[in-house]
């Protein structure tokens, strides 16, 4: 099992999760985070830290696409281990449907 970040993170990018991760397996894009599924140790401490409920176990239905999505971008984006402020539009976008199609950016974040 591993944990993944889904599209609920897009345009919010809360980073509470990165501070509690014992193995530093979060990677930062311009407007979301992902978890490297091969580095995640399945401890689950990150899941309750996400205000947007964007971190889910891969054992839930239809998670295969998110495992591959997370793997792809974790290999392209820099690691993030330090909490940062969420995006300015986070509260407004939290819970919005269709964020992958509307807002996702493949651009890397700053990491750190």
Task: Look at residue 8 in the predicted model and tell me its pLDDT.
Answer: 98
Digit-coded pLDDT (tens) for 37-50: 999 999 999 999 99
Mean pLDDT of 82-102: 97
Task: Look at residue 97 in the predicted model and tell me its pLDDT.
Answer: 96
Distances (CA, A) of 20 to 24, 60, 77, 89: 9, 22, 19, 24
CATH numeric code, 3-84: 3.30.70.20
Digit-coded pLDDT (tens) for 13-44: 999 999 999 999 999 999 999 999 999 999 99
Residue extents of the structural domains in the chain: 3-84
């Amino acid at each position: 099992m591993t944990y993944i970040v889904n599209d609920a993170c897009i345009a919010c990018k809360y980073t509470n999760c990165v501070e509690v991760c014992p193995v530093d397996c979060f990677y930062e894009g311009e407007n979301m985070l992902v978890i490297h599924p091969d580095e995640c140790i399945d401890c689950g401490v990150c899941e309750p830290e996400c205000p947007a409920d964007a971190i889910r176990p891969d054992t839930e239905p239809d998670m295969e696409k998110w495992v591959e999505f997370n793997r792809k971008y974790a290999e392209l984006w820099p690691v993030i281990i330090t909490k940062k402020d969420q995006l300015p539009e986070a509260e407004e976008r939290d819970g919005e449907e269709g964020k992958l199609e509307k807002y996702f950016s493949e651009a890397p974040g700053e990491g750190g």
